[in-house]
Structure 1
Amino acid sequence: MSSLTRTLITHGFSDLEKSERFLGFRELAELDQAELLAALRVANDPDLAVQSLVRLLSAAPEVYSKLTRTHPESGEVESNEALFRLLGASEALVDFLIRHPEHVDVLDMPSSPEPVAADGAALRSSLLEAVGADPASSMPLATMTGCAARLALRTRYRRHLCELAIRDLCAASPQDVMPLVGAELADLAAAAMEGALAVARAQVAGVFCAEAVARVHLAIIGMGKCGARELNYISDVDVMYVIETAPPGVNDGGRAGEADAVTVGNALAAAISQTIYAPEREPGLWEVDASLRPEGKDGPLVRTLDSYLSYYQRWAHDWEFQALLKARVIAGDAELGERFEEAISPLIWTSSEREGFVTSVQAMRRRVTANIKASEAGRQIKLGKGGLRDVEFTVQLLQLVHAKNDKSLRVKATTGAIAALTKAGFIGRTDAAHLDESYRYLRVLEHRIQLVQLRRTHLMPTAPEQLRALARAVAGPMSLKRPSAQSLLDDWAKVKRRVSTLHERIFYRPILATAAHLSAEDLALATDAARARLAALGYRDTVGAQRHIEALTAGVSRRAALQRQLLPVLLGWLADGVDPDAGLLAFRRVSEALGTSHWYLGMLRDHQAAAERLCHVLSSSRLVTDLLAVSPEATAWFGNDKELVPLSFDVQWAEIQSKMSRHPEPSDAIRLIRLIRQREILRIAIADCSGLLTQDQVCAALSDADRASVLGALLVAEADVYAGEPALTRLLVVAMGRQGGREIGYGSDADVLFVHRAVEGADSGQAQQQARLLVSKLMVMLTQPVRPAIQAERVLSVDADLRPEGKNGPIVRSLDAYKEYYARWSSPWEAQALLRALPLAGSDELATDFVRMVDPVRYPSLLGEAELREIKRIKARMESERLPRGADPARHVKLGRGGLSDVEWLVQLWQLQHAHAHEALRTTATLPALYAACELGLIAAEEAQLLESAWRLAGKIRNANVIWTGKPSDMLPSSRRDLEAVARWCGYEPGQAAAFEEDYLGLTRRARAVFEKHFYG
């Protein structure tokens, strides 16, 4: 391998044999080869650069003097970076300089890293002057026509294109200047159209009379990328033509007929296309494409403004309004073009209200992807998955849906629209940054690929040397390393994945379809008409609702802007709940607490299921809204079902132990334990409201939260008591009642027994005294206010009334005292109460001994007639004495007919009678014991199912009362509104409260009959 070959490799050359041959050409013989190779290092494609240099020097020897330049500051002679960058980036522009060596002075431009500055007015003047037209005229008329005009216009255009390409190629960051490059390319295309129109006027005047041509005003409307000022280096320029005849008194004092105007307009449009693109010694610039006009290629080429409006109002398809999104007058009669823009604007921004608009736009994007040729699918930068179209369709759909009431979103350029949507909150900042960065990257890829041959292509090259050159072009002149072909493909794949993910998440947001159907009136939230709409939705205090709405939408913050757009949708979801007014107030409180949190706005915007679930819960649950007011950060759980899975006892206990280790002070520790319990109640309630938990799972989760709290409080109490004196006893907390059966609800107390056993060698009296102190501290810690106070806390009330002798007996006894009491004095109801005794917290050894001690009491070998009569007597007495005064027995879900008490007492009776002989009945839970009795033939299966249904429904009603009002109640509500809320909670459709009430009363009536048959029979 020769030293030159090695040098070429280190300088980034690929076609070594060909490049060595060109370096030996006579055109380069006088140049210092080392200096030349050093200069070629800046070229994206050194092979192309050296070949182009030889060709250019052959055609224009004056370029020798431009190979170097004097640095303006240091005065040192250096290589002409602009020249070598152009040589290695665009063979087509070098060909232009070879055809027109008089324009090689463009290479004298300084290579500056400063951003490109576009000047549309200067470009317009330059291209009009190129064809001999006066830029100051209201209707410029060229003095050149035919071949001469085409040659002059195209030459001047490409001269400016060279200037732009040099500034682009020398910019420090291609991605940063991309929007400016696209804007100048669009301005340059608009200037070319203006020049071509001036030529067309002159040519058509030779066919028609000059006066007829002068009477016709023509506005050229740029569409697509040209309209948005984000054009490619080579692309079709999409246009529409609007015509209008001069008003009376102009020119000939008359008004030409529309038919004559259309004839002249068609001739002008045809002449424009010919000037721009017809075959000529200087190649055409790009195709002028009018296919986006009404009716496409089958429709008239030119129309009046009224004709356009008539079409768009009556026959236009959804995609045509999306196309109009970027419509902008680019040439011709500016006043007419502005009137066109103004007239179609309302049609564009209300188009999303059309039936099925969002789904049709989404379907069109899928069709575009589906129609890509299989051979091109993996190479498409523009149309493929994760390509430019994904970004553009995503941004345009968001604009079409939300810009009807937010004019700040009516931005034509994609990068500007992304910024506007981000500022308004419709795209998260991180997503927007990724979307903008990816779009710029893809556009630079497209620009650099097209620049080589100035051919309209959107395909990634496959040749390794082309990929290497493209990788360098995309990296830009400030890159410290030469990226490889593989690194380019890896980066492109990463960008495609990112764009595809963002597109799928944003473009297919379910909330878009809902928001699209909202009219401008729906979005006007502070008017009298708005109050009427609120009343129609079901808001009772419409004035108060408007106050909340005004508070939520006032100002210019991202939160206010986003909520102005989303509130009409959210108000409808809130109205689907039982109390929209309370829901809106709760939503305001949550929003004020979390409004600056990016994740909260993102959840409302991006996750319809979460936002809808939040609205439903806020308008249906006072319990949740009260707890959310204290812990608004828990709102994040609505968007993540994994967060709504109740934490197991073991997980809670591990967290409590961790908190206690870091906070040894009893007051601090117990406050944290109670906060954990409150957090878990909120988690369970939200999951329950969202339909994520079964009734049994709710009971178990609530029981776990209570157990962890009691155990934590017991350890805090022990640490406090034992710190000042030796431990004389060990305490056991035994769950009783529904707590023992793990069947509690949101409003349940903790029914417990306290059992202790003195440590070996301790004085029994002192042990008893220490046990009382432990119990006292435990109950205070669980129930008394803490400092600082826990707002809206669901305090765990500890109830020890089921202990021997009830309220008259000692609150804590030793295990031996319990054993003696149950052996000598216990009554049947106390044995019955022990059926649900379940160790909750404390000494494991003591728990085992306690269960062993009470099993013979609660599972007696024989239940005598006297005990049986006593149980029945107590049940009857309880029904008559414990029911609240004036309460309807049919509506009391606990003590009323067929309610919780009936089912539980019947099951417990069977346990007292048969559990000694049948182990399946030895359970603290009601339903397992019920079906064990069914298996033993004590009750028929259909009767057991009836009792289960009544028991479950009664339990649901108790929970629903707490969820709805925030307060416990054992009554089936009489108020229609409360009954409606409870009915919905129990799974009934809106408006079915009466049916629910009838079902409950009928079910419990039948359950009562079964109870009486087996309990009293």
Structure 2
Amino acid sequence: MTAVPGRRSSTFTRLLRHGFTDASAAERLLDSPELAPLRDDPVLLEALGATADPDLALLGLVRLLEAQHGPGARRELLDTLISSKPLRDRLLGVLGASTALADHLTRHPDDWQALVMYEAYDLHPGVEEFEAGLAEATDPVSLRVAYRRCLLSIAARDVCGTTGLAESAAELADLATATLRAALGIAEAAAPEDAALCRLAVIAMGKCGGHELNYVSDVDVIFVGEATEGADETKAVRAATRLASHMMRICSETTVEGSIWPVDANLRPEGRNGPLVRTVSSHLAYYQRWAKTWEFQALLKARPVAGDLDLGAEYVAAVQPLVWKAAERENFVPDVQKMRRRVVENIPVGEVDRQLKLGPGGLRDVEFAVQLLQLVHGRADTSLRSGTTLDALAALAAGGYVGRADAAQLDEAYRFLRSMEHRIQLFRLRRTHLVPEDEAELRRIGRSLGLRADPVADLHREWRRHAGVVRRLHEKLFYRPLLDAVAQLATGEARLSTEAARERMVALGYADPASALRHLEALASGVTRKAAIQRTLLPVLLGWFADSADPDAGLLGFRKVSDALGKTPWYLRLLRDEGAAAQNLARVLSAGRLAPDLLMRAPEAVALLGDGDGGGLEPRSRAHLEQEILAAVRRADGAAQAVTAARGVRRRELFRTAAVDIVGSYGTEEQPAEADQGALVDRVGAAVSDLTAATLAGTLRAVVRDGWGDDLPTRFAIIGMGRFGGHELGYGSDADVLFVHEPREGVDEREASRAANKVVSEMRRLLQIPSADPPLLIDADLRPEGKSGPLVRTLTSYEAYYRRWALTWESHALLRAEPVAGDEDLGRRFMDLIDPLRYPADGLTDEAVREIRRLKARMESERLPRGADPKLHAKLGPGGLSDVEWTVQLMQLRHGSTEPGLRTTRTREALAAARTAGLITDEDAATLDEAWVLATRVRNAVMLVRGRAADTFPTEPRELAAVGRYLGYGPGHAGDMLDAYRRTARRARGVVEQLFYGIAER
């Protein structure tokens, strides 16, 4: 029948008003013969308009009517729709939310009758009711049909709001339990001889075990088997394995009726590589010896659901004590945190912003935080041992482990996000946690959640709001109650006890929890604005400290800095308002002794850690540093005060460089760890070298001004040698130098020499005045005649010496000579003088090469500390700095005269030039470069961690762990770090033996 134009116009308008998006198509459907009895019923349009997708609901209704077996069945359905509002709401609600269930109803048109009942006992069915609904299923196909029929009733109560999120999730878990029992029954009926041999228990894990299942999800299980009385255990386990495998196939395989859900047994001991079924004793043996932290976390939700329930209860009783001891395991919290980070890192880049479950601010953040708190506090408080996330969260709030307001926000956010997930999965009954991008799908989801004004925009707004709440509370949830305990903030609420707070600090890795709690109390107690800001900052800072090798040092350092800067208005504001500053500070304070010691001497340097206009962490250029230091020298009253001022700049800039190094190595949320560690090593080496050069320039100016009023009777230059000349100084390196002077016109050479020697003597005296700063030692032992020769010579004297007496080692040492301070013209002329020595036109004689090899061997035998492990000595050991540098320098001596690229003082630059010139293969060059960078990083790490220089790994466990953290190795992986160093050094030594020692094959 075709509608008349007038009525069509009126109906079209009404359809739009009721939420239809394709009113023309809806009109045509309403005109279909099947809907003739309802066409003029205003109640139908209202009921359709109340659904998530009225267009979809109307189309599904027409399909269902068309599928009815004859006019009588169609009339019965129409009459029930007209007379029963509960059925109308349920049926249309399902049809408007799920094309998959609409398809099921079309295939099985009588199943709509499962929605007719609306009695009290029908509102919240449990396992027994679902078992009755599945009772007639005798094969996989009929089980799927019965399962979908039961699912239809759950979905109907859900979309109509008869049940809430928690009840729907529990019903889905109960339906899964009934389905597993039915599937196991089918498997046992098919193999009664196997069933007679064994007892088989099915343990639900994950969301099924936690009574919080999704519409479509893997059902995680663990199987436990035992022999029946008199049966052989080996045969019984094999029989149980066959039954378990058959049961899994029944649920997982796809038939003409689709699939139910995959049964996943990968949470079992050894995962997919382990036996499918184990006895209780076999499970226990594995968990006691081999299980990882995440396996105990997974067992939180273990629940017997099918098969021999007594055996299942025996299994759970056996493993539960191990679960509640998991928090006592070494590295417990870092292991859990690392697993959560790994989950986020494995999300495809294009999906991160659409992930409801795994992304930041997603469902997994809530679950991980709750489980972490359960494992820590559930040892003593049995009220926290629920496997259901929302029940556990409520118990944590009731026990004072989580603030009530935080728990309420987290509960609301979790319910919203899970409801979104349910609506997304319900549409096609497919396993997904991605928010769709299609606007029609977003509109349907928004309307299903009660967002009717602007469903798409409102859905995005609410989703982002709740995700933001989850992310914020996830960061603070584990730490905030500590502050409530020590500062007594939770007025009127139960608080975390002192003992519980102490336990949590131990779990976080704090070695001295009593001191840590005192620091928290000092920082956060009180009603001042300062204390309020600290209470905002500390929850996140505690987490960052806990992620380091030395949380105690981090927290102690933070208290010291806060005490020093507590009255400074910008300090806490900087940490609160500038995203990177607080995390940078946490990383720096917990990375070792050097950076915190420098910061304690100049707390205002905290400002460098921000991202404002203060320049942040970018190292200053030599010109900039020299300008600042010389300005400070001009303002100073006397040379001693001038050098003190120069030391102040050096202290601040050393801190800046150390912070650059730490943040670049550790990374932060906003600034991941630097991928190119070679570039970071170069930046640190250049920064320390430039700072040393600027400090020497300032000291030289101060000494000259004090003694001669800027009118020194001789030109004076300082030549950097070794690592200094190579722009490769470490934090604890001495400054190797040569001093050269040239009398000014008309000045007697003896007078000029006395002046030059006095300058050197005074510079060394001033720089050696005891100080808490890292020392700056001037070492001039590379001068002609070594320690026996004069400290300073004229350019003419250098020329005469090198012409007549220069030895091979001196040519070798001069490879890294570079002017660093003083008279620039004199420095350039010194370079012109020495270039023929270090880049000899005829290369090296065989005797000279042998001499260099002898020198290296003697140096290593004399200087390697007694008792040190050579394979772990970063400087003198095989494959260490000395091996790489001498190999590169031998190529420079041999080929520098003909290969301009080799004429550089920088090791890595010379190595790259040698590769370009074909003097070394790409593979060998990469091997040497990797070894040199790693050895340099080890030396830098040791200085950062211990506050004093060393060339080998520390032996104290916490210091070794801190070095490992700097090098990218997590807790418990110090052995891996040492193995990797030995491996890298061994490969480099092979190249050195070929290129430096001339051994033909490695």
TM-score by length of 1: 0.51
- The answer as to whether partners of 2:483 and 2:520 remain within 8 angstroms in 1 is no
Paired position in structure 2 for 1:761 = 746
Query: Is residue 876 of structure 2 the alignment partner of residue 895 of structure 1?
Result: yes
How many Å separate the matches in 2 of 1:762 and 1:855? 29
Query: Is residue 755 of structure 2 the alignment partner of residue 770 of structure 1?
Result: yes
Counterpart residue identity of residue 733, structure 1:
I
How many Å separate the matches in 2 of 1:976 and 1:592? 30
Paired position in structure 2 for 1:936 = 917
Paired position in structure 1 for 2:823 = 843
Query: Is residue 815 of structure 2 the alignment partner of residue 815 of structure 1?
Result: no
Paired position in structure 1 for 2:961 = 980
Query: Is residue 485 of structure 2 the alignment partner of residue 524 of structure 1?
Result: yes
Counterpart residue identity of residue 763, structure 1:
D
1:605 positional shift: 3.4
Paired position in structure 2 for 1:747 = 732
Paired position in structure 1 for 2:551 = 580
Paired position in structure 1 for 2:566 = 595
Counterpart residue identity of residue 901, structure 1:
S
Paired position in structure 2 for 1:803 = 783
- The answer as to whether partners of 2:580 and 2:611 remain within 8 angstroms in 1 is no
Paired position in structure 2 for 1:702 = 688
How many Å separate the matches in 1 of 2:408 and 2:608? 35
1:764 positional shift: 0.9
Counterpart residue identity of residue 598, structure 2:
L
2:409 to 347, 352, 373: 352
Paired position in structure 2 for 1:922 = 903
2:723 to 731, 734, 738: 738
Paired position in structure 1 for 2:811 = 831
- The answer as to whether partners of 1:509 and 1:607 remain within 8 angstroms in 2 is no
How many Å separate the matches in 1 of 2:549 and 2:475? 21
Q: How does 1:37-48 map to 2 (within 5 A)?
A: none
How many Å separate the matches in 1 of 2:659 and 2:857? 38
Alignment RMSD, CA only? 4.1
- The answer as to whether partners of 1:666 and 1:716 remain within 8 angstroms in 2 is yes
1:1011 positional shift: 0.6
2:608 to 612, 620, 637: 637
> Taking structure 1 as reference, are residues 623 and 592 closer, same or farther at Cα in structure 2, changes over 3 Å only?
same
> Taking structure 1 as reference, are residues 634 and 544 closer, same or farther at Cα in structure 2, changes over 3 Å only?
same
> Taking structure 1 as reference, are residues 353 and 508 closer, same or farther at Cα in structure 2, changes over 3 Å only?
closer
1:535 to 477, 485, 506: 506
Paired position in structure 2 for 1:154 = none
TM-score by length of 2: 0.51
1:961 to 942, 945, 948: 942
- The answer as to whether partners of 1:523 and 1:564 remain within 8 angstroms in 2 is no
> Taking structure 1 as reference, are residues 954 and 296 closer, same or farther at Cα in structure 2, changes over 3 Å only?
closer
Paired position in structure 1 for 2:328 = none
Q: CA-to-partner distance for each residue in 1:751-788, whole Å, 9 max, x for gaps?
A: 00000111111111111111100111122222224xxx
Query: Is residue 633 of structure 2 the alignment partner of residue 660 of structure 1?
Result: yes
Counterpart residue identity of residue 749, structure 1:
D
1:807 positional shift: 0.9
> Taking structure 1 as reference, are residues 625 and 357 closer, same or farther at Cα in structure 2, changes over 3 Å only?
farther
> Taking structure 1 as reference, are residues 710 and 508 closer, same or farther at Cα in structure 2, changes over 3 Å only?
farther
Paired position in structure 1 for 2:992 = 1011
Q: Equivalent residue of 1:854, what SS?
A: helix
1:889 positional shift: 0.9
- The answer as to whether partners of 1:738 and 1:744 remain within 8 angstroms in 2 is yes
1:694 positional shift: 1.6
1:746 positional shift: 1.0
Q: CA-to-partner distance for each residue in 1:552-607, whole Å, 9 max, x for gaps?
A: 22333222233345434322221111011111111110111222334332344344
1:515 to 447, 452, 476: 476
Counterpart residue identity of residue 773, structure 1:
K
> Taking structure 1 as reference, are residues 988 and 521 closer, same or farther at Cα in structure 2, changes over 3 Å only?
closer
How many Å separate the matches in 1 of 2:975 and 2:580? 29
1:681 to 622, 645, 654: 654
How many Å separate the matches in 2 of 1:569 and 1:670? 40
> Taking structure 1 as reference, are residues 756 and 355 closer, same or farther at Cα in structure 2, changes over 3 Å only?
farther
Q: CA-to-partner distance for each residue in 1:7-47, whole Å, 9 max, x for gaps?
A: xxxxxxxxxxxxxxxxxxxxxxxxxxxxxxxxxxxxxxxxx
- The answer as to whether partners of 2:808 and 2:848 remain within 8 angstroms in 1 is yes
Q: Equivalent residue of 1:731, what SS?
A: strand
Identical amino acids, percent of aligned pairs: 46
Paired position in structure 1 for 2:667 = none
Give the gaps of 5 or more residues in structure 1: 1-294, 301-313, 319-341, 372-383, 402-506
How many Å separate the matches in 1 of 2:470 and 2:803? 69
How many Å separate the matches in 1 of 2:415 and 2:554? 29
> Taking structure 1 as reference, are residues 670 and 509 closer, same or farther at Cα in structure 2, changes over 3 Å only?
farther
Q: Equivalent residue of 1:690, what SS?
A: helix
How many Å separate the matches in 2 of 1:359 and 1:712? 64
Counterpart residue identity of residue 725, structure 2:
G
How many Å separate the matches in 2 of 1:604 and 1:623? 21
How many Å separate the matches in 1 of 2:485 and 2:161? 40
How many Å separate the matches in 1 of 2:416 and 2:631? 51
1:631 positional shift: 1.6
1:633 positional shift: 1.8
Paired position in structure 2 for 1:729 = 714
- The answer as to whether partners of 1:353 and 1:517 remain within 8 angstroms in 2 is no
1:661 positional shift: 3.1
1:811 positional shift: 0.5
Q: Equivalent residue of 1:734, what SS?
A: strand
Q: Equivalent residue of 1:839, what SS?
A: strand
How many Å separate the matches in 2 of 1:346 and 1:685? 38
Q: Equivalent residue of 2:522, what SS?
A: helix
> Taking structure 1 as reference, are residues 989 and 359 closer, same or farther at Cα in structure 2, changes over 3 Å only?
farther
How many Å separate the matches in 2 of 1:509 and 1:654? 49
Query: Is residue 973 of structure 2 the alignment partner of residue 992 of structure 1?
Result: yes
Counterpart residue identity of residue 515, structure 1:
K
- The answer as to whether partners of 2:406 and 2:473 remain within 8 angstroms in 1 is no
How many Å separate the matches in 1 of 2:884 and 2:731? 20
How many Å separate the matches in 2 of 1:945 and 1:713? 40
Q: Equivalent residue of 1:644, what SS?
A: coil
How many Å separate the matches in 1 of 2:954 and 2:722? 25
- The answer as to whether partners of 2:885 and 2:907 remain within 8 angstroms in 1 is yes
Paired position in structure 1 for 2:703 = 717
Q: Equivalent residue of 1:524, what SS?
A: helix
Q: Equivalent residue of 2:773, what SS?
A: coil
How many Å separate the matches in 1 of 2:805 and 2:411? 80
Give the gaps of 5 or more residues in structure 2: 1-157, 164-210, 213-360, 362-397, 421-434, 441-452, 487-496, 665-673
Counterpart residue identity of residue 796, structure 1:
L
Counterpart residue identity of residue 644, structure 2:
R
How many Å separate the matches in 1 of 2:648 and 2:415? 45
Of structures 1 and 2, the larger Rg is shown by 1
Q: Equivalent residue of 2:977, what SS?
A: helix
> Taking structure 1 as reference, are residues 558 and 891 closer, same or farther at Cα in structure 2, changes over 3 Å only?
same
- The answer as to whether partners of 1:523 and 1:565 remain within 8 angstroms in 2 is no
> Taking structure 1 as reference, are residues 518 and 717 closer, same or farther at Cα in structure 2, changes over 3 Å only?
closer
- The answer as to whether partners of 1:733 and 1:839 remain within 8 angstroms in 2 is yes
Q: Equivalent residue of 2:511, what SS?
A: coil
Counterpart residue identity of residue 878, structure 2:
R
